[in-house]
Each structure stands twice: as structure tokens, then as C-alpha cells.
Amino acid sequence: MIIDCHGHYTTVPAPHTAWRKQQLAAWENDQTPPAYPAIPDDEIRESIEGSQLRLMRERGVDLTIFSPRASAMAHHEGDEAVSRQWAEACNDLIYRVTQLYPESFAGVCQLPQSPGVPIANSIAELRRCVEELGFVGCNLNPDPSGGHWTSAPLTDRSWYPFYETMVELDVPAMVHVSAVTNPNFHATGSAYLNADTTAFMQFLQADLFEDFPDLRIVIPHGGGAVPYHWGRFRGLADMLQRPPLHESVMGNVFFDTCVYHQPGIDLLFEVIDIDNLLFGSEMVGAVRGIDPQTGNYFDDTRRYVEALDLAIEDREKVFEGNARRVYPRLEQLIKA
């Protein structure tokens, strides 16, 4: 089985996106938003089968761990109530996809985060999605301000109530920021990669995983800059008198393979231990075009992994085993 750990519902039905605009307009004008639209199953099928599911079948991906569109989470827009209502609507839509295609998609939830609002206020939605909707994880935004980084580091104790719930529910979090309003950053070109790198450095500097030895964090997009500057981070750990990375961080942190060229994948697998790598493509997502140098889609990451000279057991870990270990609730879904 090939499991893609990183997929977003980027092709949502138009009424869903239209309602979001109405919701924000109502909030700006101090009005009550209209009721969420009734979206028929056929419209959801059309949005999935012509894009995500078609590409999965063409590329030989069996199961995608599926979450709401990252850039549309937009935690900086509206207030806490707006964010909660939006998160619930997005998660309910993901749930419907998982029910229509239970063999192809497993849900991961968006959280109702807002700048300045304690992350503990997101616990109820995490519980709902895991316990009632059967989701296997969550996306955690370390910067709900939209690119201005007003939140405390992920290692701050203010995050601990949420981590306690993650451990209790036995679900991981993927660190994933959203849209940005800071003009210095392009969302997918720099903000996402900045956040991935920043999260890793925060973990390096603190003892979070001593306090939560069972906590599991996925850093997407190949770990940001981390694998490509591994010597820098190893050296910083030494300079800051921190334990070696394999002792303090890498027992709890995992990277996906959302790196869109062969040399990048080659280096990722050379530097990072095979047990810390999960196959991912982020399709249909950040980079959708065809690479003129290869004639293949940039985000067809299975090609890059299969071009490596991996032992059979290592290939199985990357494509399936590591995801089942990091997302243990997948076992229940796969067996069902």
C-alpha cells in the first residue's frame, strides 16, 4: 500500500468557498452569516474524482491523509467564533469525502485557531474530529497571525494542554501555517518553508519531548531548510549545549517527501534516517505544473522515491509503514 501523508482538499465545491466569503463579509458588517449551503454528494464526487482521486489512481497512491486546504484556513481572519465555525464547516466537508471514499481518504482536521486565543480552545474540535468523525490527526498552525509570528514558540507551556490531548487521543500533528498578510512572504514559496524550519529550531532549543515522549510531529515540505543545512543544526545543538538531534528531536519529529526535484529527494534520504520519512506529495497543492526538464509533474513525488536505490524494507517504511506508525488510528481505518 502507498499512503500519501500530505493531501489538501484544494478543489472544494464552489458553494463552500462562496459561503466563506459571505461569512467574513457578515462578520465585517456585524451581521449573522447565512446558513451553510447544502452541497449534494454528487458535487463532492465531481470535485474529487476529476482531480485528487484521478491523480492518485494515475500515480498509484492508495490512500491519502486528507485535510482542508491549508491556505484557506486563514486563522488571522475574523475572530474566534468565525474561525470555529469555518473549521467545523471545513472538517465536516473532509468527513463527507472520507465517507464517500473510505478506502481512499483518511481525515485530518483544521483547528479553530485565532491570534491571541489559547490553543486549549481548539481541543474541543480536535476531540470532535477524532472521536466522532474518525480523523487520524490535525494540522497545527504555529503562526495564526498570518505571517507576523505573534504566538509563543511551540515549545512554550501554553501549548501543553493541546499536546496532552494529542497524546491522550494518540494522534500526531502536522505543523502547517496558512495564508499570510505580511508582504515579505509568499505563502507557499517562503512562509511555509520558514515555518517548517522555525518549528524544528524551536524543538532543538527546548525539552518538549522530555515532557511529552509520546508526542509525534510531522514537519512537511521535506522539513523546510533543515535537511539541507543539517550540519548547521547539529552544530547549533552543540553550541547551545543541547543533546544531539537524534536524542532530543528525531525520536518525535518526522519529515514528508514534498520536495519537488530528484536532487532534493536524494539529499533528504541521505541525511535523514529512513524511520523519520513519510511519503507525501501535497497534491493537488503548492506546485501543480509539469517540470520542463523531466516532462513529469513536479508533485509526482513517487517517481523521485522510486528512483532511489532503497532496500525493499526501507521502501515499505517510507510508502506505508512509517505512516501507519506515526498515525496509529490509520490501522482502524485500514482494517475496516
Catalytically active residues, by annotation: 282
Contacts 24+ apart (CB under 8 A), 18-22: 19/89, 20/72, 20/86, 20/89
194 and 232 Cβ atoms separated by less than 8 Å: no
- Structure-block grid coordinates of residue 123: 481541543
Angle, in degrees to the nearest 10, between helices 41-49 and 52-59: 40
Give the span between the Cα atoms of 225 and 222, in whole angstroms.
8
Q: What angle do CA 220, 226, 228 make, to 5 degrees?
A: 115
C-beta of residue 11 within 8 angstroms of C-beta of residue 51: yes
Which region, left, alpha or beta, applies to residue 311 given φ > 0 means left and ψ of -120 to 50 means alpha?
beta
The number of residues in the chain equals 336
Which runs of consecutive H residues, i.e. helices, occur in the chain?
14-28, 41-49, 52-59, 80-100, 123-127, 160-169, 192-205, 208-211, 230-239, 245-248, 262-271, 301-306, 312-316, 322-326, 329-335
Q: Could you give the CA distance from residue 180 to residue 336 in angstroms, rounded to a whole number? A: 39
88 phi and psi angles, rounded to 5 deg: -60, -40
